[in-house]
């Protein structure tokens, strides 16, 4: 009972902090927080494949990027395209891509899966660069503005106001994270984890393995696409840099690993750590990539379950010592 | 009724003939043991019957239906259950979570995404019941990977049984067990296959002779003999193949 | 000779040269995978590192041949150190961890290169002795590309000799096929691993150094080369040198002709082909190991 009370209080504090945040720290850090949230969602979708289903998606940027481009294209080409559909169209694009690729992706696992996703990720990157008429090539798509949030007949909230956008973006991402968290707690979620441990046994228990894998892939693709959509709105510019390039595929992997692949919140923590780190390190040197890479290597070598893993180990040790004494 | 039948079953791996004209018949309700020296093709036979492999030639019939080449998940859904020689459980999940997956399958709950699984009371109850029946209720929240060998094998066996199959296929369930563990395992198997049909691959002759109603002897991929334990014990060809291993 | 014929031949030479380079890179990659089960994501990064070393040595000694000799060796040493101190420690955690650590290494090499030499492209000039064209049978060929092809053939010939005619080569081939078996026979497998890894990196280093005058030396150079090498290994078959050879040459020609005639479709075809092979024949066209 006490535990539950503590949990509610903790969440209350978090909600209030997040709500008051932009008023306390200003625009720059509000946008920074939105970026952190976007990548948290993105990294969580990667972990639903890596930590939960046991496959490494090496080209995950293809879902993120497809979502971002879809939103940008919709806002640029269709006058008056409303806000919520703009976000949903990103999710739809990501999900559709996952659906199209799933017949091939469900056939493989392990290194082959990593290679296949790498190949597709690179393919989409190259397509985005070469098919200038649609994607703007290297320059990308920009110059669209964020449409207002319209609830017909009730209210119209101007999203060019950065504080309004902050609340909208955070709300969208929190809702998505909650949906995904709930998803992992359902019977279907437990099937996905089963696949990680022993795909053959899942087959022998009577479940259709390819279908389950496909559904999980589509869920991950859809929500990664939504993350991309929000990113497109935040940056008001979408190009391959940071969105479809190889770096964009590696960032969520780093975040998931550093935070901890064995927990739902690990990637969120990883996103926080990397964002804070970048903000700090950038004051001293441009070599943030080196710092990230070095930390990543250290984590893989010495703390493969990430920060959450270290925390759990420490907790177990503390409890053990309590018991003993 | 013949619940399981193979007709003219052949299987080869890249030219190596492993099964040769296997005609097996298992009657409903019986306990049927498949024995033979190492490399005789026993596990391959299982793999062909349970859908891991499609046989090179021949047919498999289950409950009168031709199931040749059907996939494992299809066969599980129509009432077949299988355990493996090398323990195949979800090692990072707890014993409870392992069994629960089987219970979910049995109940046909496959794409349920709108409820928390922990909140499904009847599923939890049934899972706990199964755990109690296989004496794993105390190890409920232990990851399968840290269970003692005997308990781990028990979990493996019960994964085959938890979907409530009509035909249970166990591949060397007592492999590597101590005398004591074997005894418990046999009792477990006997209890849990009450009213079901059992086909069991075994090397431990004590287990075979205490459980089996009928025995099939496989040798170099061919059936050497089939019959009740008494007959098999007397069969000269079988004795020669085993070189006296059957002295019980 | 008609102009189109000249064009075709020129493209064929370019394709052959690039294909040979690809094979140098991919051969090490496929042997490492066959033997150690590690897909070295950083493999092309070592080639890039060698290209930068080549530039540096050239700067310091003004002698292309010295640079060509030294750069790959230094890269090879870096490779050996990486294997010894990073890969070996992570081995017990499984293939996923090994894969991820090579990703980290790739990122670190990229940053080191940017830190050491900046982000702009560097120019490595073709040495006087190898520049220009040569006439033969009514066609002109660029000398340097012929040199690339020739050098690759020589190196690969030596490798083949060692692999198939010496005892050490036999051990290595056996290890690539089944490392556990070789270990059980009493051979010092960690040493063999280190050797093969080092040689594999050295081969990539040779490719990088030799390619420096041809491809632009810039931090992104490992991306294209690396991706192509993966395609070669995946399609050719993990652990299969013959497969790597055939696919590398094929890919080199596809690249050369593709860029000329179907620039937007070529990469799509290549990736599509790789995806199909991976999905239906995950061990590659000639591969044996998982």
Question: How big is the CA angle at C285 (ends C282 and C287), to the nearest 5 degrees?
Answer: 70
Q: Per-residue pLDDT tens for A28-85?
A: 888 999 999 999 999 999 999 999 999 999 999 999 999 999 999 999 988 888 888 9
Q: Which residue has the higher pLDDT, C289 or B22?
A: B22
User: Between the CA of residue C42 and those of A168, C49, C120, C160, what are the distances in Å?
Assistant: 40, 10, 21, 24
Provide the pLDDT for residue B243.
57
In chain A, residues with a C-beta closer than 8 Å to the C-beta of C40 are none
d(CA A166, CA C51): 46
For residue C50, pLDDT over 90 is answered with yes
What is the domain partition of chain C in residue ranges?
3-280
Domain covering C3-280: architecture: Orthogonal Bundle (1.10)
pLDDT tens sequence across B100-157? 999 999 998 888 888 898 889 999 999 999 999 888 888 899 999 999 988 899 899 8
Lowest mean pLDDT among A166-180, B210-224, C46-60, C124-138: C124-138
Kindly tell me if the per-residue pLDDT of C2 is higher than 80: no
Model pLDDT, residue C287: 65
Q: Supply the range of the domain harboring residue B207.
A: 2-242
- pLDDT for the residue numbered C47: 95
Q: Give the contacts of C147 (CB within 8 A, at least 6 positions apart).
A: C130
- Angle at the Cα of A89 (from A87 to A90), degrees rounded to 5? 70
Query: Who contacts A273 (Cβ-Cβ below 8 Å, separation ≥6)?
Result: A255, A258, A259, A307
pTM score, two decimals?
Answer: 0.89
A115 contacts in chain C (CB < 8 Å): 39, 230, 234, 274, 278
Q: What is the mean pLDDT of residues A164-168?
A: 89
Model pLDDT, residue C46: 95
Over residues C113-119, mean pLDDT: 89
Answer yes or no: are the C-beta atoms of B138 and B85 closer than 8 Å. Answer: no
Is B149 contained in some domain?
A: yes
Question: Model confidence at A317, in pLDDT bands (50, 70, 90)?
Answer: confident
Q: What is the pLDDT of residue B95?
A: 93
Q: In the A/C pair of chains, how many CB contacts fall below 8 A? A: 104
Q: Tell me, what's the pLDDT at A253? A: 95
Between chain A and chain B, how many beta carbons pairs sit less than 8 Å apart? 84
Confidence band for C289, pLDDT divided at 50, 70 and 90: very low
Interface residue A207 vs chain B (CB under 8 A): yes
With a cut of 90, say whether residue A218 has pLDDT above it.
Answer: yes
Mean predicted lDDT score pLDDT of chain A: 90
At A48, list the tokens.
């639903």
Q: Is residue B248 part of a domain?
A: no
Collect contacts of C63-69 with beta carbons under 8 A, ≥24 apart.
Answer: C64/C127, C64/C130, C65/C127, C67/C209, C68/C206, C68/C209, C68/C210
Token couple for A139: 């320059």
Cα–Cα dist C222/C103, whole Å: 13
Q: How far is A26 from chain C (nearest CA, A)?
A: 33
In CATH terms, A24-324 corresponds, of 1.10.4160, 2.70.170, 1.10.3470, 3.30.230, to: 1.10.3470
Q: What DSSP assignment string belongs to B152-164? A: HHHHHHHHHHTT-
Task: Assess if residue B247 is contained within a domain.
Answer: no
- Flag whether pLDDT at A324 surpasses 60: no
Q: State the pLDDT at residue B248.
A: 46
- Tell me the chain A residues in contact with residue B115 when contact means C-beta distances shorter than 8 Å: 186-187
Q: What is the pLDDT of residues C181-204, one digit of tens each?
A: 777 777 777 888 888 899 999 999
| C279/A107 touch (CB, cutoff 8 Å), yes or no | yes
Q: In B, which residues are within 8 Å of A106 by CB distance?
A: none
Cα angle C206-C42-A49, degrees, rounded to a multiple of 5: 155
**pLDDT at residue C98 is higher than 60:** yes
Least Cα distance to A257 among C239, B4, B66, C93 occurs for C93
Q: Which helix (H) or strand (E) holds B6?
A: strand B2-13
Cα–Cα distance between C17 and C144 in angstroms, integer? Answer: 9
Query: What are the two backbone dihedrals, phi and then psi, of residue B244, each rounded to the nearest 5 degrees?
Result: 85, 5
Angstroms from B42 CA to nearest CA on chain A: 19
By C-alpha distance, the chain A residue nearest C82 is A297
- Whether residue B118 lies within 8 A of chain A, CB to CB, comes out as yes
pLDDT of residue C288: 58
C290, pLDDT greater than 50:
no
Domain coordinates in residue numbering, chain A: 24-324
Among A116, A293, A294, select the one facing C279 at the smallest CB separation.
Answer: A116
Cβ(A181)–Cβ(A157) below 8 Å: no
Pick from A130, A73, A141, A64: nearest CA to A95: A64
* Cβ count near B197 (within 10 Å): 22
For C171-230, the DSSP string reads HHHHHHH-HHHHHHTT--HHHHHHHHHHHHHHHHHHHHHHHTTTS-BSTTHHHHHHHHHH
In the predicted model, what is the mean pLDDT of residues C122-137? 79
**pLDDT surpassing 50 at residue B212:** yes
* Percentage of chain C exceeding pLDDT 70: 97
Is C63's Cβ below 8 Å from some Cβ in A?
no
Report how far apart, in Å, the C-alpha atoms of A280 and of each of A288, A298, B215 are: 9, 19, 73
Residue C263's pLDDT is 73
- Which pLDDT band holds residue A321 (cuts at 50, 70, 90)? low
In this structure, what CATH number is given to the domain that contains residue B81?
3.40.50.300
What is the pLDDT averaged over residues A138-159?
A: 81
Is it the case that residue A291 has pLDDT exceeding 50? yes
What is the tens place of the pLDDT at every residue in C17-37? 899 999 999 998 988 888 888
Number of domains in chain B: 1
Which two structure tokens, joined as six digits, stand for C224? Answer: 């294209």
Neighbours of B206 (CB within 10 A): 14
Q: What is the pLDDT of residues C255-281, one digit of tens each?
A: 888 777 777 777 778 888 888 887 777
Share of chain A above pLDDT 90, in %: 56
Distance CA C71, CA A122 (A): 29
Question: Which residues on chain C are in Cβ contact (under 8 Å) with A197?
Answer: none
With 0-12 CB in 10 A as exposed, 13-18 as middle and 19+ as buried, what is A22?
Answer: buried
A204·B76 Cβ contact <8 A? yes
pLDDT at C156 over 70: yes
């Amino acid at each position: 009972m006490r535990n539950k009370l503590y949990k509610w209080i903790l969440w209350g504090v978090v909600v209030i902090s997040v709500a008051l945040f932009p008023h306390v720290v200003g625009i720059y850090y509000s946008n920074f927080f939105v970026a952190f949230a976007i990548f948290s969602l993105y990294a969580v979708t990667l972990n639903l494949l890596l930590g939960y289903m046991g496959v490494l998606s090496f080209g995950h940027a293809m879902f993120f990027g497809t979502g971002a481009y879809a939103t940008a294209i919709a806002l640029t080409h269709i006058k008056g395209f409303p806000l919520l559909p703009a976000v949903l169209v990103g999710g739809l694009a990501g999900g559709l891509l996952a659906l199209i690729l799933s017949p091939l992706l469900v056939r493989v696992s392990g290194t082959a899966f990593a290679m296949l996703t790498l190949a597709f990720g690179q393919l989409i990157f190259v397509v985005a660069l070469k098919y200038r008429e649609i994607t703007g090539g290297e320059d990308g798509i920009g110059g669209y503005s964020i449409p207002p949030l319209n609830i017909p007949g009730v209210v119209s909230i101007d999203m060019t106001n950065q504080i309004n956008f902050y609340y909208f973006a955070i709300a969208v991402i929190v809702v998505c994270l909650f949906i995904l968290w709930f998803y992992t707690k359902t019977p279907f979620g437990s099937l996905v984890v089963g696949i990680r441990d022993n795909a053959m046994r899942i087959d022998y228990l009577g479940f259709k393995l390819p279908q389950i894998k496909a559904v999980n892939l589509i869920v991950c693709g859809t929500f990664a696409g939504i993350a991309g959509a929000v990113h497109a709105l935040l940056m008001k510019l979408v190009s391959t840099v940071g969105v479809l390039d190889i770096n964009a595929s590696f960032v969520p992997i780093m975040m998931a690993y550093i935070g901890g692949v064995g927990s739902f919140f690990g990637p969120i923590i990883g996103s926080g750590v990397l964002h804070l780190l970048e903000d700090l390190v950038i004051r001293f040197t441009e070599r943030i990539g080196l710092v990230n890479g070095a930390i990543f290597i250290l984590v893989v070598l010495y703390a493969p379950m990430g920060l959450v893993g270290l925390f759990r180990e420490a907790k177990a040790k503390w409890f053990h010592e309590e018991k003993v004494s | 009724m013949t619940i399981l039948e193979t007709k003219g079953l052949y299987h080869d791996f890249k030219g190596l003939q492993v099964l040769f004209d296997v005609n097996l018949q298992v009657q409903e309700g019986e306990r049927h043991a498949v024995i033979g020296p190492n490399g005789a093709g026993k596990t391959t036979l299982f793999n062909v019957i349970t859908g891991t492999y499609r046989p090179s030639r021949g047919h498999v019939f289950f409950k009168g239906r031709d199931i040749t080449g059907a996939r494992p998940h299809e066969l599980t859904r129509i009432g077949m259950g299988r355990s493996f020689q090398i323990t195949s459980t979800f090692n990072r999940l707890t014993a409870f979570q392992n069994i629960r997956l089987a219970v979910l399958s049995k109940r046909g709950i496959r794409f349920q995404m709108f409820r928390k699984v922990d909140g499904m009371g009847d599923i939890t109850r049934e899972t706990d019941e199964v755990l109690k029946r296989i004496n794993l209720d105390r190890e409920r929240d232990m990851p399968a990977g840290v269970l003692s060998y005997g308990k781990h094998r028990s979990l493996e066996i019960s994964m085959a049984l938890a979907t409530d199959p009509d035909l249970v296929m166990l591949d060397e369930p007592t492999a590597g067990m101590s005398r004591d563990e074997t005894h418990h395992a046999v009792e477990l198997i006997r209890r849990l296959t009450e009213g079901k049909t059992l086909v069991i691959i075994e090397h431990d002759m004590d287990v075979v002779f205490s459980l089996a109603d009928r025995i099939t002897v496989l040798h170099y991929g061919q059936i050497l003999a089939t019959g009740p334990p008494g007959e098999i014990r007397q069969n000269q060809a079988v004795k020669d193949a085993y070189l006296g291993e059957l002295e019980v | 000779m008609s102009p189109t014929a000249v064009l075709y031949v020129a493209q064929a030479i370019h394709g052959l040269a690039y294909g040979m380079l690809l094979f140098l890179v991919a051969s090490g990659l496929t042997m490492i995978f066959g033997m150690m089960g590690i897909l070295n994501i950083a493999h092309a990064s070592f080639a890039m590192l060698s290209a930068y070393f080549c530039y540096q040595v050239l700067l310091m000694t003004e002698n292309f041949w010295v640079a060509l000799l030294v750069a790959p060796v230094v890269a090879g040493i870096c490779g050996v150190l990486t294997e010894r101190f990073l890969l070996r420690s992570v081995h017990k955690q499984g293939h996923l961890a090994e894969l991820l650590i090579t990703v980290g290494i790739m990122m670190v090499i990229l940053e080191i290169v940017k830190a050491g030499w900046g982000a702009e492209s560097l120019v490595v000039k073709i040495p006087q002795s190898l520049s220009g064209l040569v006439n033969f049978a009514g066609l002109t060929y660029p000398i340097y590309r012929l040199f690339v092809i020739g050098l690759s053939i020589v190196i690969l010939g030596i490798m083949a000799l060692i692999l198939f005619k010496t005892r050490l080569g036999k051990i290595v081939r056996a290890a690539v096929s089944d490392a556990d078996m070789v270990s059980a026979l009493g051979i010092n497998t960690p040493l063999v691993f280190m050797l093969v890894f080092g040689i594999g990196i050295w081969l990539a280093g040779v490719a990088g150094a030799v390619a420096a005058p041809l491809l632009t030396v810039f931090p992104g150079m490992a991306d294209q080369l690396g991706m192509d090498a993966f395609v070669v290994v995946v399609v050719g078959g993990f652990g299969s040198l013959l497969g790597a050879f055939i696919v590398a040459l094929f890919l080199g020609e596809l690249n050369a002709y593709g860029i000329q005639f179907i620039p937007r479709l070529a990469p799509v075809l290549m990736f599509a082909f790789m995806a199909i092979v991976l999905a239906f024949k995950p061990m590659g066209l000639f591969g044996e190991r998982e």
